[in-house]
Amino acid sequence: MTKVTIRHVAEAAGVAVKTVSRVMNGEPNVTRDLQDRVMKAVDQLGYVPSMAARRMGGRRSYLLVALNDRQNTINNWRSGRGNDWIDQMLHGAMLTCEAHGYRMLFELVQAGSEDLDRKVVAILSALQPDGIILTPPHSQNLALVEMLTRRNVPVVRMGVPGKGVGFGVFMDDRAAAAEATRHLIDLGHQRIGFIAGSPRFEASRQRLDGYADALHQADIGMDEALIAPGDFTFESGVTAAEALLSRSDRPTAILASNDEMALATLHVASRLGIRVPDLSVISFDDTPGVRLSVPGLTSVRQPISEMAAKAAELLIGVSRTGETAPSDHLLPFGLEVRGSTTRVT
């Protein structure tokens, strides 16, 4: 069988080879009629563009790379719990890349490692991506962002503002935690426990600050004994929930800084014979698992997929236009109210 080439597509569409290339690369200033003619020929002939040829034809690689934290990712895989956050991130970024003729890869790099820069440079050398998406905590690493910028690699920082160094795509974690806490206060709760996230992540501090903001605004004194440390793992959630729920003056509600620690709270409450929502529980992130729990968890919905899609869209735009002026993009969160919260009786 003769291999279908770009020249066959051009002949079938009655256009120049360069026009086919511009349509396949998603370049601007191509009329809708030409796009339709070219794509009809592509479909009829079953043409698949060569990524290598596209890369040779210009400076673009048609590839984006996301850098994820190695420790957290591997720990979740080994535990068998999976990585819902990463699943949502890849869902948003990969579909956006697919729609624009790009490919998406993700690499695991240990945050804080002494040879971080060397490993990232090796990734750049091997893959030559058109841009890098940094997920937390890498997105908080200003030295890493500046190193990539010096090498003229466009960078999107997920989860934090860019502040003029790379693009920022994020939600307001502080405001989200405050809204979740106010929801509990509006239900009559005064003793509200808080399970903090890992101090490695800026979002952990922002969520604690939002919790404190809401208590202060409601003129409720913040009891430090109701704040338990966690690190976003199920195990840390179990330890934190046990500490909070074993108190004689235990809280009537708990706000956990992520879904795993909230699910751990449900398990501990069940073991202790405490009914939810008699103990109201709110989670963060709203990954699929919390919708299947019994009862379903009230949760702050973090727009993970939407943030990743926006990150990919920004990098693809840079690769096409060369415009790299940093900008920040604040995406809205939501509070999904389910059966795990109720009014104090």
What's the CATH code of the domain at 315? Answer: 3.40.50.2300
Say whether both 162 and 188 belong to one domain.
Answer: no
Mean pLDDT of the chain: 89
**Residue-wise pLDDT tens digits, 302-313:** 999 999 999 999
| Residues 84-118 pLDDT 10s | 888 889 999 999 999 998 999 999 998 888 888 88
- Find the domain containing 18 and state its range: 6-49
Task: Read off the pLDDT of each residue in 148-167 and give the average, rounded to a whole number.
Answer: 91
Long-range contacts of 204-207 (CB under 8 A, 24+ apart): 204/257, 206/172, 206/173, 206/174, 206/177, 207/173, 207/174, 207/176, 207/177, 207/257, 207/284
> 316 with 286, same domain?
no
| CATH number for the domain harbouring residue 17 | 1.10.260.40
In a 3-state reduction of DSSP, which class is residue 236? helix
Q: What are the percentages of helix, strand and coil residues in the chain, rounded to 5?
A: 50, 15, 35
Number of domains within the chain: 3
Residue 345 reports pLDDT greater than 80: no
Is residue 335 predicted with pLDDT exceeding 80? yes
Dihedral sign computed on CA atoms, order 50, 52, 57, 61: positive
Residue 56 CB coordination number (10 Å):
8
Q: Specify if 123 maps to a domain.
A: yes
pLDDT at 56 over 50: no
pTM above 0.85, yes or no: no
How, if at all, do strands 298-301 and 253-256 pair? unpaired
Indicate whether 81 and 124 sit together in one domain: yes
- Is 297 in the same domain as 310? no
Task: Give the pLDDT confidence of 233-280 residue by residue, as tens digits.
Answer: 999 999 999 999 999 999 999 999 999 999 999 999 999 999 999 999
191 has a pLDDT exceeding 90: yes
Does position 53 have pLDDT exceeding 80, yes or no? no
State percent of the chain over pLDDT 70. Answer: 94
Q: Stretch 198-224: mean pLDDT, rounded? A: 96
**Does residue 192 fall inside a structural domain?**
yes
> Length of the chain in residues, anyone?
345
